[in-house]
Amino acid sequence: MADSKQPGPPKKPLTLTEQVLQQKQTYDQQAYQRLADSVKPRHNVLVNAFNAFWVGGSIAALAQIITLIFIANGVNIRDAATAATIIMIFLGALLTGLGIYDEIGKVAGAGSIIPITGFANSIVAPAMEYKREGFVFGVAARMFNIAGPVLVYGFIVAVLVGLIAYFLQ
């Protein structure tokens, strides 16, 4: 059987200085890992899931209340839902502009990005971040950094589904 050694010339033993440097590097790596572990935030999955659930549910409940107010005032269901969606997008954009939506996101995580208000946040946040670069090259050019791909693929899928439905009739 062939020898299990690696081919090539044999390795020469490390000098004392090289051994000390190697041990110091290993110690430094271990010390850094301990430091990183000590400052790394601890995540509690159950608390995070609960916060996402109640915040996302509260946002949905607010939208439902707005819809019911419109219906109670004589607006048909379809128009009431459209108006409630517009109001929720406006509230998401407003709260993002005031810096409140980011604080909600820190508590709620995915509970704040899944509703329609998260969509408004994904458009307004980059626009605000790049406003110092001007309206054309900052706001207009960067506004859809996050939401742009979602919109593009959403439009493509909508067109494909529409074409399939049209040809299947």
Residue 63 maps to a domain: yes
CA distances from 117 to 52, 58, 94 (A): 14, 12, 10
Q: What is the pLDDT of residues 34-82, one digit of tens each?
A: 888 888 877 788 999 999 999 999 999 999 999 999 999 999 999 999 9
Residue 132 maps to a domain: yes
Q: How far is it, in rounded angstroms, from Cα 122 to Cα 111?
A: 14
Residue 145 maps to a domain: yes
For residue 121, give its domain range: 45-168
Q: How many domains does the chain have?
A: 1
Residue 39 maps to a domain: no
Sign of CA dihedral 57, 60, 65, 66: positive
Q: What is the pLDDT of residues 98-152, one digit of tens each?
A: 989 889 988 888 888 777 888 787 778 777 777 777 777 776 777 777 677 777 8
Residue 23 maps to a domain: no
Helices and strands, number each (H, E), in the chain:
8, 0
Residue 8 maps to a domain: no
Residue 129 maps to a domain: yes
Residue 134 maps to a domain: yes
Q: Which long-range contacts (CB under 8 A, 24 or more apart) does 96-103 make?
A: 96/120, 96/121, 96/124, 96/125, 96/128, 97/124, 97/128, 101/125
